[in-house]
Each structure stands twice: as structure tokens, then as C-alpha cells.
Structure 1
Amino acid sequence: MRVFQILYSMWFNKCPRCHKGNVFVYKNPYRLKALFKLHEHCSSCNLQYEREPSFFYGAMYVSYALTSGWFIVWYVLYITVLNTMDTLWFALAMASSLIALSPLTLRWSRMLWLNFFVPYNPLKNQNT
């Protein structure tokens, strides 16, 4: 059950505690000038998103794991199914897909990092 709560919060960028308030100021992850803009706290349950200074530095490791997983899945697919493709084209396809997906990866990693520390509890209405 916890996995589905985390996935819901990640996919819709909702507060991990109440699943009602938006975490990011803008819903569009490709609005690059506002890519890192978060609300300070949840509009519904008042959860403070950045729990301490530099809290989201740990999300870099999550982002690294997500992009590494993406690369490994496509590399295994390449060597087993798409073996006729030139290696240079594969490298270009991987690089372009990682660049194109980086705003989504950033948001997912931040949401996953926040969900590691904040459990789903819709009844709690105080700051932690």
C-alpha cells in the first residue's frame, strides 16, 4: 500500500502527507526557468517541504539511480533485441532521451526523496 501512495505522490506532485497540496509552483516540468520552484508548505496540511537547509541534495542520488536504471534497461534491450543498431546511434539516442527526461527525473527524484521522510497521514494537520 505504501508503494502506491509514494507513486501517486510522485506522479501527480502532491504533498506526501495529505495528497492534496501541490509541491511544485508550476505543474509543467518543462518550464525551465521555474524548474526548482517549490511551495514552502502544503496548502492543505501545512507540511513544510524543505525540512532543513539543503534538504533536497539527497535527491541527487535518487536522480542518479533513476537515470542509471533508465540507461541499464535500454542497454539490455539494445544488446538483446536492437543489436542491429549502430552503437553511435544508440549513444546519441540515450543522451538525447536523458536530456529530454531530465526535468521529469528531477521532479520524480525530489518527490521520492520527500516521500522517504514523510509518510502518508491525511489526519495530521500540524507542521513537522
Structure 2
Amino acid sequence: MLKGTKVYSILNNKCPRCHQGSFFVHNNPFNLKKFDKMHPQCEVCGESFEREPGFYFGGMYGSYALYTALIAVVFVSCVVLLGINIFYVLAILIPVLIISQPVFFRWGRLLWINVFVSYDPEAAKGEKKITPKW
């Protein structure tokens, strides 16, 4: 449905170049021992996921933006529009933020690499091309 878009890659844990290979080793973000393990490169097209040391520090800003957006939407809708007590909102929001940390961590990294890598429909068709590390 959304294949070929950056949203497809981010939400489905797919390689940003071919949209077929998995970005993270395990699809379950709630396996807390292994939620951050990434493949070094795509098993389908060979796109390198290990760009350079510190590349994914930018992903922290992406996950920070996701957290901020969630907090802003929940706060405005519950406290300002519905008039719910802020302590009730915080009692629900804080556990939700803690539970969603592995998901936002992954989305932040996928968002960041999708800024620099574009979808190539030909990438998965040809022979496996190994891209050099940056």
C-alpha cells in the first residue's frame, strides 16, 4: 500500500533503499535484550546501515521529536480541550512514554536513515550490491 514511501520503511522495519530487507534483527521492539540490534547491512540489496561512528545520534533528535509531539497532542487534547486534571493525564502519560521507548527508539533511527537514503525500486531486482561504508 505505502511501499515506496519513507513511511513504509519506518513503520515496517524495512531497508530504506529496497523496502524488502529488515533493518533491525528482531521485529519485536519489546524484546528488551535485543530491541536495538541492527543488521550491519541489508540482506537483500546490501545497503550499509552502519554509516559512520555516531551517525545515529541524529536519531535521538527524531525520537525526541516523536515524544514531544505525543506529549503536546495528549496535553492539549486532555488538559486544555477536555479539562481533565493534569495529574490524571500525567499518571497515564508517564507509563505510556516508558512503554513506548523501544518503539520510538527504532522509529527515530529509521527516520534518521530515511533522511539520507531514498527508495530505489531497482535495488532488490538486480544482484546484491555491497555499498561501501561512509
TM-score with structure 2 setting the length? 0.87
Which moved further from structure 2: 10-19 or 118-127? 118-127
Contact 2:79–2:86 (Cα < 8 Å) also in 1: no
SS of 1:127's equivalent in the other structure is coil
Task: Tell me by how many angstroms 1:88 deviates.
Answer: 1.1
Which moved further from structure 2: 29-38 or 4-13? 4-13
Question: Which residue of structure 1 aligns with residue 87 of structure 2?
Answer: 88
Deviation by residue 1:11-44 (Cα, 9 ceiling, x = unmatched): 1100000001001000100000012100000001
Matched ranges for 1:70-81 at <5 A: 70-81=70-81
| Distance in 2 between residues matched to 1:76 and 1:86, nearest whole Å | 12
Deviation by residue 1:35-61 (Cα, 9 ceiling, x = unmatched): 210000000110010211121111010
- How many residue pairs get aligned? The number is 126
Question: Which residue of structure 1 aligns with residue 45 of structure 2?
Answer: 45
Q: What's the Cα RMSD here? A: 1.8
Percent of pairs with identical residues? 38
Question: Which residue of structure 2 aligns with residue 11 of structure 1?
Answer: 11
1:127 maps to 2:123 = no
| Distance in 2 between residues matched to 1:73 and 1:87, nearest whole Å | 14
Which letter does structure 1 place at the counterpart of 2:50?
E
Which ranges of structure 1 fall in alignment gaps of 5 or more residues? none
Matched ranges for 1:99-110 at <5 A: 99-110=98-109
| Distance in 1 between residues matched to 2:118 and 2:130, nearest whole Å | 14
Task: Tell me by how many angstroms 1:126 deviates.
Answer: 4.3
Which ranges of structure 2 fall in alignment gaps of 5 or more residues? 124-128
| Distance in 2 between residues matched to 1:68 and 1:108, nearest whole Å | 14
Distance 1:31 1:105, change over 3 A: same
Runs of 4 or more consecutive aligned structure 1 residues displaced over 6 Å after TM superposition: none
